């Protein structure tokens, strides 16, 4: 019997990656925004007919813009997960909810564990933390999966921005005092699929929170310089200089955690999932983009 999974954010990086997966015995339904707009959710019952799990990949992820659009960020990141989780509880199906490292405070040191205290310092982070709380309070069986620094060959992300700017400029300044864990959208999608399959296949699987990112750590500057090294090997134009600067030298509307590295050992222990090194993931993305540019 074929399972049906409803995936939100079907046009986002992770949603697209999930929809492309060939999951035996599973039909992935990833409606476009016109059919499933998280900012103004329609009647969910028709969409949930015959669905065995909800995978909520959709989010308002414009971190700086959220500071001036808090109501929109809250509608998508808090109110929508609350309604989806309530529907999951009503139907007796699990919800797999993607969250973020930005729920953690600006100070302190990673790697962050799932039970570390959250203290968001941005509208984006606060709305995502509140969305987590709504899912937990819904009564639905759930997996909250926190990830970080999502990159891919699709959509808007840091790697693609660096490649675009590197082709336009001879020098760039990139923040070097924020540490984190890049995550390939495709790797995250595969992990979400495995987690969802566990929840649909094992009624005794307990709810919880897990961290999921590619292994290793870096800074934004480290991610940029690695991206450009691979790009240069692929014959792409790269800047001659990539200067390391501090957060204070690059003020943004939203504050960000200085160290939001994620400890993913619980994911490995509970699900046997460990993602490849972030360098390998970024190499794949850059080479894919270089191939598109040919």
The pLDDT, as a whole number, for residue 35 is: 86
pLDDT on residue 293: 57
Q: Please tell me which residue in 60, 102, 124, 250 is annotated as part of the active site.
A: 124
CB 236 within 8 A of CB 156: no
Q: What is the pLDDT of residue 3?
A: 95
Domains in the chain, CATH or no CATH each: 3-156+181-216+254-276 (3.40.50.720)
> Is-catalytic flag, 250?
no
Judge contact between 144 and 199, C-beta under 8 A.
no
Instruction: Look at residue 23 and give its three-state secondary structure.
Output: coil
pLDDT recorded at residue 12:
94
Taking only the tens place, the pLDDT of each residue in 207-243 is 999 999 999 999 999 999 999 999 999 999 999 999 9
pLDDT of residue 5: 98
Is 118 a residue whose pLDDT tops 70?
A: yes
Distance of CA 188 to the CA centre of its chain: 8
As a whole number of Å, the end-to-end CA separation of the chain is: 43
95 within 8 A of 142, measured Cβ to Cβ: yes
- 8 A C-beta contact, residue 274 and residue 215: yes
pLDDT digits (tens, 9 = 90+) for 129-149: 999 999 999 999 999 999 999
pLDDT digits (tens, 9 = 90+) for 92-103: 999 999 999 999
Question: Residues 115, 14, 293, 245: what is their CA dihedral angle, to the nearest 10 degrees?
Answer: -20
Within 8 A by CB and 6+ apart from 209, the residues are: 99, 114, 115, 132, 143, 144, 145, 146
């Amino acid at each position: 019997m074929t399972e049906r999974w409803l995936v939100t954010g079907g046009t986002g990086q992770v949603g697209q990656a999930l929809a492309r997966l060939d999951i035996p015995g599973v039909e992935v339904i990833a409606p476009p925004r016109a059919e499933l707009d998280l900012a103004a959710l329609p009647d969910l019952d028709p969409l949930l007919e015959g669905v065995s799990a909800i995978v909520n990949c959709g989010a308002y992820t414009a971190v700086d813009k959220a500071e001036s659009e808090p109501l929109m960020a809250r509608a998508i990141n808090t109110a929508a997960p609350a309604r989806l989780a309530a529907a999951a509880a009503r139907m007796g199906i699990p919800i797999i909810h993607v969250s973020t490292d930005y729920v953690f405070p600006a100070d302190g040191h990673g790697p962050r564990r799932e039970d570390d205290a959250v203290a968001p310092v941005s509208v984006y982070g606060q709305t995502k933390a509140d969305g987590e709380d709504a899912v937990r309070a819904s009564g639905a069986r759930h997996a909250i999966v926190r990830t970080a620094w999502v990159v891919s060959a699709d959509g808007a992300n840091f790697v693609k921005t660096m490649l675009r700017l590197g082709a336009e400029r001879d020098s760039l300044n990139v923040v070097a005092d924020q540490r984190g864990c890049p995550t390939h959208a495709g790797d995250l999608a595969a992990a979400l699929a495995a987690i969802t399959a566990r929840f649909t296949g094992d009624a005794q699987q307990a709810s919880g929170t897990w961290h999921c990112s590619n292994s290793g750590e870096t800074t934004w500057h480290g991610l940029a310089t690695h991206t450009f090294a691979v790009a240069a090997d692929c014959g792409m134009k790269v800047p001659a200089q990539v200067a390391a600067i501090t957060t204070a030298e690059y003020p943004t509307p939203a504050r960000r955690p200085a160290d939001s590295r994620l400890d993913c050992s619980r994911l490995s222990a509970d699900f046997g999932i460990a993602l490849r090194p972030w360098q390998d993931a970024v190499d794949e993305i850059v080479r894919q983009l270089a191939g598109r540019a040919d």
